[in-house]
């Protein structure tokens, strides 16, 4: 088995045994990036010198017997995480040349764990999008069919993992931006409970929804990555002060008797027939493994999209107000006065989708409309969270589709924002409630990947990962790879 096909556990064993060095592994991955990234556009920045220096350090730690399971493993970071002295662009012209003066907590924790950073991955501008077509640096292409999208906003990370250009990657999930691209590219992605991973140094889109998380090819690899980034951070006021579970250690638990809730509302109109059949096939496999199926209802789930597209734009309007051409970020040439500086810097720096969401959010927060839109959306958000609480009285894990269809063609939904927003119809409710959710591969439909979504109760990531791991031990859906990569 070639190096790029091996899991974190396999590579960790080989690195520890001296069968391969981190320098060799990193060089191999950099060569794959050079060979394949031009066709996919996964990376905005490749940090070759940094990667080789970190690999050398990792080899020294391994030789000294100071290695952990992630030491020497080459990964990539979504370009929304600040990285010391490396460009952090958020896929935007606004931050095209921004060099971060510090590392985000997630980046720092993984560096302490000994990982090797290959580079920064492409993304929808400021994480706003479901296809990775809004990036200032051009769209990312899905390695399963380069005429289709990889999903978004973490599409660069998803495509890089799927094409075996890195072992694992970080992503962020505000309304499905880890899970939806994981589904469309046939990999495993986890959005942890809100507050499980620090948001410090992660450029904010919607502060009450954003959450960092890992993306890899299997639940086992995701468990190792989550252990590396989870935990309390005193610099993040939304960080949860509670111990981190042994995610990898919990992977061997039997799932017989685990109650699996199938959401009635997720399996009806709007779901592609092939995707529905794949999800049901995965449910049958869980039943064969001894899990118990329970039909549940989330009656307010249909309100999640309209509620989200009030709350998220309102928060983005506030968060992106800092990019004004004065402090940092893009600044227009020769402004006539302060008003011209603001107008042209923001008009030139932001793309169409970001501008659309800023305008929607500013309107929703304006005098006379706050109560009618933002306050009402927050009340609906509470109803959605209450639905999940009631559902978890009947089941342990909720399952359903991650996305309504398989990967769509590049440009197919570019002129139809509402159709694009509906790509997250099954994922958004999880963010509104602050719950953990993950997407794992189900059987393919017409040769394209399908995602099975697993949703857990608060801080129940260990159970989610175990259910996913047991399903992956019994099937080979997650081992399928795109041709040519």
Active site residue 287: no
Residues 191, 198: Cα–Cα separation, whole Å? 13
Helices (H), 235-375: 273-288, 304-319, 338-349, 352-365
Residue 370 · residue 350 · CB < 8 Å:
no
Structure token digits, residue 45: 């920045």
SS3 441: strand
SS3 427: coil
CB neighbours (10 Å) of residue 194? Answer: 24
Active site residue 177: yes
What's 32's DSSP letter? H
- From the candidates 78, 109, 120, 413, give the one annotated as an active-site residue: 78
- From the candidates 92, 177, 218, 304, give the one annotated as an active-site residue: 177
Helix 219-229 to helix 8-17 angle (10° resolution) is 70
What's 407's DSSP letter? P
- From the candidates 153, 154, 345, 439, give the one annotated as an active-site residue: 153
- In degrees rounded to 5, what are phi and psi of residue 120? -115, 130
Nearest Cα to 186, choosing from 406, 413, 410?
Answer: 406
Using the structure block, give the residue that is written with the tokens 């289709």.
148
Residues 463, 451: Cα–Cα separation, whole Å? 18
Using the structure block, give the residue that is written with the tokens 């039997």.
254
Beta bridge partners of 296: 263
Going through 48-201 in order, the beta strands assigned E by DSSP cover 74-78, 116-121, 168-172, 188-191
Structure token digits, residue 198: 């620090």
Q: What is the CA radius of gyration of the chain?
A: 21
Task: Classify strands 259-263 and 292-296 as parallel, antiparallel or unpaired.
Answer: parallel
Q: Which residues are catalytic?
A: 78, 153, 177
């Amino acid at each position: 088995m070639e190096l790029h096909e091996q899991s974190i556990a396999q590579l960790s064993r080989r690195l520890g045994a001296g069968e391969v060095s981190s320098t060799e592994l990193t060089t191999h991955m950099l060569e794959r990036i050079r060979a394949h990234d031009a066709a996919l556009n996964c990376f905005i920045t490749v940090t070759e010198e940094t990667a080789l220096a970190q690999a050398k350090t990792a080899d020294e730690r391994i030789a000294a017997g100071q290695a952990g399971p992630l030491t020497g493993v080459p990964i990539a970071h979504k370009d929304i995480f600040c990285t010391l002295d490396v460009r952090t662009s958020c896929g935007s012209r606004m931050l095209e040349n921004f060099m971060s003066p510090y590392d985000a907590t997630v980046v720092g924790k993984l560096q302490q764990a000994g990982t090797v950073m290959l580079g920064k991955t492409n993304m929808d501008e400021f994480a706003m999008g479901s296809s990775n077509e809004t990036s200032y640096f051009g769209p990312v292409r899905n390695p399963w069919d380069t005429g289709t999208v990889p999903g978004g906003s973490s599409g660069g990370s998803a495509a890089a993992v799927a094409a075996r250009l890195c072992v694992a990657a970080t992503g962020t999930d505000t309304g499905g931006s880890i899970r939806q691209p994981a589904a469309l590219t046939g990999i495993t992605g986890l959005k942890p409970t809100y507050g499980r991973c620090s948001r410090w140094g992660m450029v904010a889109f919607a502060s009450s929804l954003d959450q960092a998380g890992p993306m890899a090819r299997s639940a086992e690899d995701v468990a190792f990555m989550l252990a590396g980034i989870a935990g309390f951070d005193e610099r993040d006021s939304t960080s949860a002060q509670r111990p981190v579970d042994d995610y990898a250690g919990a992977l061997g638990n039997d799932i017989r008797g685990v109650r699996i809730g199938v959401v009635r509302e997720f399996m009806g109109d709007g779901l592609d027939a092939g995707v529905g059949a794949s999800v049901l096939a995965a449910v049958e496999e869980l039943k064969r493994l001894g899990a118990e199926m329970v039909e549940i209802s989330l009656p307010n789930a249909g309100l999640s999209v309209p509620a989200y597209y009030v709350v998220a734009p309102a928060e983005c309007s506030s968060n992106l107000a800092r990019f004004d051409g004065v402090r940092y970020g893009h600044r227009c040439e020769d402004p006539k006065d302060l008003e011209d500086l603001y107008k042209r810097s923001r008009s030139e720096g932001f793309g169409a989708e970001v501008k659309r969401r800023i305008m929607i959010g500013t309107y929703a927060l304006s005098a006379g409309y706050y109560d009618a839109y933002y306050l009402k959306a927050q009340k609906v958000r509470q109803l959605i969270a209450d639905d999940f609480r009631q559902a978890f009285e009947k089941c342990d894990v909720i399952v359903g589709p991650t996305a309504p269809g398989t990967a769509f063609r590049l440009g197919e939904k570019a002129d139809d924002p509402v159709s694009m927003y509906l790509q997250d119809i099954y994922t958004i409710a999880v963010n509104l409630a602050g719950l953990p959710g993950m997407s794992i591969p189900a059987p393919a439909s017409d040769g394209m990947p399908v995602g099975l979504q697993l949703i857990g109760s608060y801080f129940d990531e260990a159970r989610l990962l175990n259910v996913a791991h047991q399903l992956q031990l019994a099937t080979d859906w997650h081992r399928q790879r795109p041709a040519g990569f």
